[in-house]
Chain A
Amino acid sequence: MGECKSGIQNELKIAGTNLFLVSAGICGAVIVLAAAGGELLDLYPVSFEVIFPFFAAVSVGEWARTRADGNFDLIAAQSRSLFAWALKRSAAVFGTVSFFAVGCMAAVSLIRYAYPLRELIFMYFPPAFFLSSLAAWVGLESVQEHLAAAVSGLVWLAALLTRSLLRIRGVEYIYLFICYAGDPNHVWLWNKGIYTAAGILIWAAIFRRNYQKKVNRI
């Protein structure tokens, strides 16, 4: 446990202070928007289902670089498990962003209460987890910088642009921003479950792609 904790701490040191500064900045911007935005803005879904999940994906793609890390060859040659390393690095960054997201949810709820905190977390976590997992997977597949963030970003924007597809039956189960789109058929829990499962599947695929090295027992 201690080793895991120090591992996470090391990963956060590698990520640097900008992760915390930018996260805090986004938090602050959302809180200001809550205070000054007025009733017309559908604040909660926009902030916690659209903006924060994108930020989580960009953070994992940029601050939790794996193959694009200059020391990747070193780590790949010497680590006991590449999967564990990639998971630890992504979890450290995702966890940090999520910590700020939840803090922001609590602060915004104090200013303008609309949803219980539990519901806001359910709104945020599945799209954030899915997009971040996608970024982590692309980051492990490609040595190109910024590509992981680009792929997650494209999926994010495409989802925003294709809101009109909700007219097709069944799309509401897989539309990424269901709460933002109004959830006309009240299927958001199914939707969130599907995206959580998709994120887990991505990590299972990462694991299965032989990223785990077996340790030879001497």
Chain B
Amino acid sequence: MFIVWEGSIMRKTGVIVRYELKMQFGRPAVWVVFGAAVLLCQLDSFPSAVNLARLEFLPQPAYFISRIMSFDVLVLLFGLMFLLAGRLSVDERTGVKSLFMAAPLKKSQYAAGKLVGGFFFTFLMLCAFLWFNMAVYFAAAPFSLSVSACVFPLVKACLVCGLPASLFVGFVSVALPGVMDVRLFYMLGAVLFGVNAANVGSAEAMPFYLITSGDLVRLIWRHPRWPFVNWNSVLANVFFLTGTAAAAAVLLLIKRDLWRKGS
């Protein structure tokens, strides 16, 4: 009985997640953002003669992945932040929220569906971005590459960096516009992303508040001159990303007028 009940709870959340993904992937604006990020990535890291001369370690697939993870993924995530920011308000505007509230659906199921939907959407887009650009790199490289040399850092990037970054962007972008003015949220996001964009790598431990260029990315590739990993900084980076995501989710769940009264 408990398993059936649990299954039913997860199922309702799963329905919301499924349709969030469907609606998001069907938006042309998502693919415009994706295209812009891919263009920027190729301009910067395509294995052309000019870029190979400019970037000493570009022939290394792990370096390629860590580079696009540090810079170009930011453009993708920033664009997705804007597109995810309206997921709660669209339900109010279309009148669908009153249908959700009149259904046997709990606030936690609704919120979880929206948040998890945002996370999976961000993660899948990020993975698609990384895999697509790696495929172009593999196909266009004027030097020989093994598949395993490309796939292994790719998988590491998706799991080690991509998961926490997607959790952060997915949760925060859906939840925070539900608790504050969306314009203020954009400004906070801009400041964070701007600081991320302005940060360059160094031998010192990277600040913990970097989304994709913190010390987590050193787990994909390390500069030969700085081969060490500062595990405290890595953990701080992970905790910042996941902790902020969790805090955003909690803020949304405790918001009183998100749902019907007395629920």
A residues near B, CB below 8 A? 18-19, 21-22, 25-26, 50-51, 54-55, 58-59, 62-63, 142, 144-147, 149-150, 153-154, 156-158, 160-162
Contacts and interface: CB of A to CB of B under 8 A. Distances in A.
Q: Chain B contact residues (Cβ within 8 angstroms of A): what range?
A: 20 to 34
Interface in B210-263: none
A178 B36 CA distance: 22
Given A58-B187, A157-B75, A161-B71, A146 B82 contact: yes
A141 to B, nearest CB: 12
B207 interface: no
A154 B194 contact: no
Please report whether the interface of chain B is mostly helix, strand, loop or mixed according to DSSP: helix
B181 A18 contact: yes
B29 A150 contact: yes
Contacts, number: 82
Interface of B: 27, 29, 33, 36, 40, 44, 71-72, 74-75, 78-79, 82-83, 85-86, 89-90, 181-184, 186-187, 190-191, 193-194, 197-198
Contacts of A62: 182-183, 186
Given A22-B184, A144-B29, A156 B86 contact: no
Q: Which 8 residue pairs across A and B have the least CB separation, nearest first?
A: A150-B82, A160-B197, A58-B186, A161-B197, A157-B78, A18-B181, A22-B184, A146-B82
A151 B81 CA distance: 12
Given A153-B82, A157-B74, A147 B181 contact: no
Contact of A18 (B90, B183, B186): B183
A184 B131 CA distance: 38
Contacts of A146: 82-83, 85-86, 182
Contacts of A144: 27, 29
Contact of B82 (A21, A50, A142, A149): A149
B190 A156 contact: yes
